[in-house]
Amino acid sequence: MKATVGLLALATVLATGCGPARRGVPFGPPLQLTERQQRGQVLFMRECNGCHPGAAGGLGPGIANKPLPGFAMRTQIRKGVGAMPAFTEQMLSDEEVDAIVDYLNALQETPGPL
């Protein structure tokens, strides 16, 4: 009996997770990312997630929910805007910036909860 209750509790935790109730990455089917987008995701987690957690709003604004054209995001990353620092070519290569933009576009194309 005790074991059943324990298992039930474990199943509940596994099913609902223990993360925050609302996250920026869209709900729904898991993201189907290309290899480049996956690379972008890793880079995003390393370079951007601190201020744009889950691409939702944090210190910086949410960026998964707006249809910013790629060139605007590239400029934003290279030049920085307001409180956001610029990322130089020593920090991120062009190819890496492209991968991040590609990843963010994938987030935008995925229907969100709203």
Decide: is 85 part of the binding site for ligand HEC (CB under 6 A): yes
> Do residues 70 and 101 make contact, with C-beta atoms less than 8 angstroms apart?
yes
Candidates 14, 18, 21, 83; binder of ligand HEC (CB under 6 A) is 83
Q: What is the dihedral of CA 22, 85, 38, 26, to 10 degrees?
A: 20
Q: Please provide the DSSP assignment of 77-103 as one string.
A: HHH--TTSPP--TTTS-HHHHHHHHHH
23 or 65: CB nearest ligand HEC? 65
Shortest Cβ 22–ligand HEC spacing (Å): 19
Shortest Cβ 10–ligand HEC spacing (Å): 37
Decide: is 69 part of the binding site for ligand HEC (CB under 6 A): no
